[in-house]
């Protein structure tokens, strides 16, 4: 364990919570070059800190990385694979990896993680920017589930949750990574749960609807133009950088805004309804 650096520990903590990252994602977020990332990842693989397998989602020969046996010892508190509805924890890191490899949600999970990787990579070029929180779907659902119970509702299940600092502002957000497969009705049902969270004393964070293309985005903007919600909703495109002017507010679609320009409300400082109000909650960057 003495051979693990602070950067190694950060990577392992990410893999414990967010399951899987590509070689390119790890390089962009944590290393000066793709080559240096490959060299260090090879060492971590030899130490069994990480497990790797060929990235079948792209076919470019790069690896995907998950937590290895040593990594599971160092970071034993992990979030279960989202497909396991019975809550049974994997019996080994091998089983955990097999679940991730076999998951039909693998492309969706990688797409979700990409937004946060892009934000973290951006902080390496802007000393005034910081990804103060990066929570997985399971983490955010567990934290805000208590608020949903108090409001007698099913609760939110965001694909990810973060707090972004830039331009002198703090913006919390919930991410819905949309591959264009969900119906508009499903999107509306999800937004109503976020609205219940905000009206029930939780945070009024913007919900980011990130979609594959402009046509899908415009359709959502047209549908949501007349929908009034307590919290802001913003649309964006997969291939636009999430820190930049990539977001369109559904109630004011006249211009595209930077992430730090979106309206955001941390909510009341009430442990009963908002137990992890920023900055009191556990930050993970």
For position 284, what pLDDT does the model report?
42
Range scoring the smallest mean pLDDT among 71-80, 93-102, 187-196:
93-102
Please give the C-alpha separations between residue 99 and each of 19, 75, 104, 139, 241, in angstroms, as whole numbers: 10, 18, 10, 18, 30
Report the percent of the chain where pLDDT is more than 90: 64
- CA separation for the pair 199, 149 (Å, rounded): 13
Q: Are 133 and 278 in contact (CB under 8 A)?
A: yes
Mean pLDDT, to the nearest integer, of 118-126?
96
- CA separation for the pair 52, 214 (Å, rounded): 34
Q: Are 254 and 277 in contact (CB under 8 A)?
A: no
Could you tell me the pLDDT band of residue 93, with boundaries at 50, 70 and 90?
A: low
For position 2, what pLDDT does the model report?
74
Range scoring the smallest mean pLDDT among 97-101, 188-192, 276-280:
276-280
Q: Are 280 and 186 in contact (CB under 8 A)?
A: no
Torsion sign across C-alpha atoms 176, 182, 184, 188 = negative
How do the domains of the chain map onto residue ranges?
A: 6-102, 108-261
Q: Which two structure tokens, joined as six digits, stand for 208? A: 């980011």
Please give the C-alpha separations between residue 41 and each of 13, 129, 267, in angstroms, as whole numbers: 15, 27, 40
Mean pLDDT, to the nearest integer, of 156-183?
94
Does position 282 have pLDDT exceeding 60, yes or no?
no
Would you give the distance in Å from CA 43 to the centre of its chain?
A: 27
Indicate the CATH number for domain 6-102.
1.10.10.10
By residue count, the chain amounts to 285
Mean pLDDT, to the nearest integer, of 218-230?
93
Does position 128 have pLDDT exceeding 50, yes or no?
yes
For position 138, what pLDDT does the model report?
87
Residue 200: cis peptide before it, omega within 30 degrees of 0? no
For position 38, what pLDDT does the model report?
96
- CA separation for the pair 253, 221 (Å, rounded): 8
**pLDDT tens-digit map of 44-69:** 999 999 999 887 766 677 899 999 99
Q: Are 134 and 160 in contact (CB under 8 A)?
A: yes
Q: Which two structure tokens, joined as six digits, stand for 55? A: 């990235």
For position 102, what pLDDT does the model report?
62
Q: Are 173 and 205 in contact (CB under 8 A)?
A: yes
Range scoring the smallest mean pLDDT among 36-50, 114-128, 148-162:
148-162
Could you tell me the pLDDT band of residue 163, with boundaries at 50, 70 and 90?
A: very high
* Cβ neighbours, 10 Å, residue 256: 17
Provide the pairing of β-strand 63-67 with 130-136.
unpaired
Ramachandran region, residue 172 (left: φ > 0; alpha: ψ -120 to 50; beta: rest): beta
Mean pLDDT, to the nearest integer, of 117-143?
93
For position 281, what pLDDT does the model report?
43
The stretches of the chain forming alpha helices (DSSP H) are: 6-18, 23-30, 34-46, 69-74, 93-102, 106-123, 137-150, 184-199, 214-224
Q: Are 117 and 21 in contact (CB under 8 A)?
A: yes
pLDDT, averaged across the chain: 87
Could you tell me the pLDDT band of residue 89, with boundaries at 50, 70 and 90?
A: low
* Cβ neighbours, 10 Å, residue 129: 18
* Cβ neighbours, 10 Å, residue 23: 20
Mean pLDDT, to the nearest integer, of 130-135?
95
Q: Which residue has the higher pLDDT, 114 or 81?
A: 114
């Amino acid at each position: 364990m003495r051979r693990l650096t602070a950067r190694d520990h950060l990577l392992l903590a990410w893999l414990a919570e967010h399951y899987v990252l590509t070689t390119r994602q790890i390089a962009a977020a944590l290393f000066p070059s793709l080559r240096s990332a490959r060299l260090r990842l090879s060492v971590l693989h030899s130490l069994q800190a990480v497990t790797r397998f060929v990235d079948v989602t792209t076919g470019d020969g790069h690896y995907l990385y998950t937590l290895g046996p040593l990594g599971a010892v160092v970071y034993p508190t992990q979030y279960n694979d989202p497909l396991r509805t019975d809550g049974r924890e994997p019996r080994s890191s091998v089983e955990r990896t097999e679940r991730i490899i076999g998951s039909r949600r693998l492309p969706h999970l990688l797409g979700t993680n990409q937004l946060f990787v892009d934000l973290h990579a951006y902080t390496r070029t802007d000393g005034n920017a910081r990804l103060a929180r990066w929570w997985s779907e399971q983490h955010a659902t567990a934290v805000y589930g208590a608020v949903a119970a108090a409001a007698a509702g099913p609760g939110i299940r965001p694909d990810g949750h973060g707090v972004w600092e830039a331009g002198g502002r703090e913006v919390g957000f919930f991410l819905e990574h949309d591959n264009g497969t969900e119906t508009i009705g499903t999107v509306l049902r999800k937004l109503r749960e976020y609205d219940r969270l905000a009206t029930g004393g939780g945070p009024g964070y913007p919900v980011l609807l990130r979609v594959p293309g402009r046509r899908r985005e415009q359709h959502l903007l047209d549908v949501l133009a007349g929908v009034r919600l307590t919290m802001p909703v913003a649309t964006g495109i997969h291939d636009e950088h999430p820190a930049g002017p990539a977001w369109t507010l559904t109630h004011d679609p006249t211009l595209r805004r930077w992430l730090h320009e979106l309206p955001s409300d941390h909510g009341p400082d009430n442990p009963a309804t908002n137990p992890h109000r920023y900055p009191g909650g556990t930050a993970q960057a």
